Chain A
């Protein structure tokens, strides 16, 4: 019997492989499989390599459900339907730090190696095959596995280069942040673009001669050769599964050796050089802690401007999940490494500029959802961030308040810090702008704007006298 579903939505990012489709029905994440994909799934679940990956949490939780329940869901007839674990907060590779992209790439290669050894492969090699559970990467594209055909190279190699290896090479070899490159091109960076960046002695840097230059040259030379024909030629010339495995192992070795060459911005030292006294810090922590416990444990906390993650960690003690957003990729990378070292599993650090958050990307701008549409939080922390937006980026104060309030669920809490114009950090930002440019940037005006959008529950001025903290209920 087919039960009618009231709330069914197809994932706009899962159309590329027509053999399977992700959709959401009544709060569940489901994947419809056609007859062939269903056969592949049965082979996969009976294999030796897949169940251990699942048990270790390296592949997202997946189980078959009764397909009859969803037979006609999402406008297609499915031979089988899988239910996936829900990823707490979806993020995109252009929001990850270098270490995150590298660890995601290594997990993808590890899974591919396990698959190849067992006679399977992955159809693709995209960075979008991965998501995060805190600081643990998770392979989510279960529809990507299929039995390997002997003598065939990995079909996902080019995609892996474009969306993972090349971005890593950019930051490791050139000290260029990869995030804007990935954000601008959903399919990643093509080899012929990379080739132009690695000229002269840079041609010889690790991974560049083969993965960039040879790759680009081969693509140009074989532009007219059908890939089916080339597969036959390779098989005829003796390409084997062992060779495919050797290639994967070499890529793994290369990726593992890559280290970021970050240009540290001054915000990396913010926590050390900022103007807090010990008394200010203690008072601020107490305030935030009280807000976190005000109304039961929040499910999702958004820490906007997380810096070294001090408050994100504090939030993780009480919240189900914390998304810690920070603009500087180097700072996020340090935070990611620190969180992994501490085995802190409930904080997801992300690279994001609040004055330029990720827009929608890919096909019609919806294939990769914009940051603002990916979920609002039960509690938003906006500590020492208002002055960066209002003074540093000239965003009108009322709009800053709107942005912060809109990040909260209706009835959710906003914990916001207002740094007075006479505070040393605000003065530093004001010194770069003409005098009198921000007449509205005053504590009383901020309090008025906040009260217009929210019900202020608590307000504390820090002992230093130049910062005020507010706890407010949005739409309450």
Chain B
């Protein structure tokens, strides 16, 4: 994975999606949705 010399800041990266307008906000929403479902899936595998 390539990382720049400058720590771009995780939150700062996500905000840029929202700054990009409606399509960008959809990307941010998808990112959060995926995080949520990933957590749910993890919980289910933990239980089973």
A interface with B by C-beta (< 8 Å): 16-19, 123-124, 149, 153-159, 161, 210-211, 214-215, 217-223, 225-234, 236-239, 242-244, 246-247, 250-251
Instruction: Given A237-B31, A244-B20, decide whether A223 and B11 contact each other with a Cβ distance below 8 A.
Output: yes
Which listed residue (B1, B8, B23, B34) contacts A246, Cβ 8 A? Answer: B23
Chain B, residues 3-32, CB within 8 Å of chain A (1/0): the string is 111111111111111111101101110110
Q: Across the interface, which residues of B come within 8 angstroms of A225, CB to CB?
A: 10
Q: Across the interface, which residues of A come within 8 angstroms of B1, CB to CB?
A: 228, 231-232
Instruction: Given A157-B15, A233-B35, decide whether A250 and B2 contact each other with a Cβ distance below 8 A.
Output: no
A-B contact count (CB 8 A): 122
CA distance in complex: A152, B19 (Å) = 14
Q: Across the interface, which residues of A come within 8 angstroms of B30, CB to CB?
A: 237-238
Q: Across the interface, which residues of B come within 8 angstroms of A153, CB to CB?
A: 8, 13, 16-17
New A-B contacts (5) at CB < 8 Å, excluding given A156-B6, A227-B10, A227-B13: A123-B5, A153-B17, A228-B1, A239-B24, A246-B23
Asked if A250 contacts B21 (CB within 8 A), the reply is yes
Closest to B23 in A: A243
Which listed residue (B12, B21, B23) contacts A157, Cβ 8 A? Answer: B12
CA distance in complex: A124, B9 (Å) = 12
Asked if B20 contacts A243 (CB within 8 A), the reply is yes
Asked if B10 contacts A244 (CB within 8 A), the reply is no
Q: Across the interface, which residues of B come within 8 angstroms of A17, CB to CB?
A: 5-6
Asked if A234 contacts B17 (CB within 8 A), the reply is yes
Q: Which 6 A-B pairs have the closest CB atoms?
A: A218-B11, A219-B11, A158-B12, A222-B10, A155-B8, A237-B30
CA distance in complex: A153, B4 (Å) = 12
Instruction: Given A211-B19, A247-B16, decide whether A237 and B27 contact each other with a Cβ distance below 8 A.
Output: yes
Instruction: Given A233-B31, A237-B34, decide whether A243 and B17 contact each other with a Cβ distance below 8 A.
Output: yes
> In whole Å, how far is B8's beta carbon from the nearest beta carbon of chain A?
4
CA distance in complex: A229, B5 (Å) = 16
Which listed residue (A156, A210, A227, A244) contacts B18, Cβ 8 A? Answer: A210
Asked if B31 contacts A244 (CB within 8 A), the reply is no
Asked if A149 contacts B2 (CB within 8 A), the reply is yes
Instruction: Given A234-B17, A244-B16, decide whether A215 and B34 contact each other with a Cβ distance below 8 A.
Output: no
Which listed residue (B2, B9, B24) contacts A243, Cβ 8 A? Answer: B24
Instruction: Given A247-B16, A250-B21, decide whether A157 and B31 contact each other with a Cβ distance below 8 A.
Output: no
Closest to B3 in A: A228
- Return 14 A-B CB contacts under 8 Å, by A number: A16-B6, A149-B2, A222-B10, A223-B11, A226-B10, A228-B1, A231-B1, A232-B1, A237-B31, A237-B34, A238-B27, A242-B23, A243-B24, A247-B17
CA distance in complex: A220, B21 (Å) = 22
Chain B, residues 26-48, CB within 8 Å of chain A (1/0): the string is 11101100110000000000000
> In whole Å, how far is B36's beta carbon from the nearest beta carbon of chain A?
12
Closest to A125 in B: B6
CA distance in complex: A155, B24 (Å) = 16
Asked if B6 contacts A159 (CB within 8 A), the reply is yes
Which listed residue (B12, B17, B20) contacts A219, Cβ 8 A? Answer: B12
Instruction: Given A233-B34, A243-B20, A251-B19, decide whether A222 and B4 contact each other with a Cβ distance below 8 A.
Output: no
Q: Across the interface, which residues of B come within 8 angstroms of A154, CB to CB?
A: 8, 16
Most buried by B among A155, A211, A219, A244: A155
Asked if A234 contacts B14 (CB within 8 A), the reply is yes
Q: Across the interface, which residues of A come within 8 angstroms of B15, CB to CB?
A: 157, 210-211, 214-215, 218
Q: Across the interface, which residues of A come within 8 angstroms of B18, CB to CB?
A: 210, 214
> In whole Å, how far is A112's beta carbon from the nearest beta carbon of chain B?
12
Q: Across the interface, which residues of A come within 8 angstroms of B5, CB to CB?
A: 16-19, 123
Instruction: Given A210-B19, A218-B14, A243-B23, decide whether A158 and B34 contact each other with a Cβ distance below 8 A.
Output: no
> In whole Å, how far is A125's beta carbon from the nearest beta carbon of chain B?
9
Asked if B14 contacts A230 (CB within 8 A), the reply is yes
Asked if B17 contacts A157 (CB within 8 A), the reply is no
Q: Across the interface, which residues of A come within 8 angstroms of B26, CB to CB?
A: 238
CA distance in complex: A155, B23 (Å) = 20
CA distance in complex: A112, B20 (Å) = 15
CA distance in complex: A472, B2 (Å) = 59
> In whole Å, how far is A231's beta carbon from the nearest beta carbon of chain B?
6
Asked if B20 contacts A215 (CB within 8 A), the reply is no
> In whole Å, how far is A252's beta carbon from the nearest beta carbon of chain B?
11
CA distance in complex: A161, B13 (Å) = 12
Asked if A247 contacts B19 (CB within 8 A), the reply is yes
> In whole Å, how far is B2's beta carbon from the nearest beta carbon of chain A?
7
Closest to A231 in B: B13
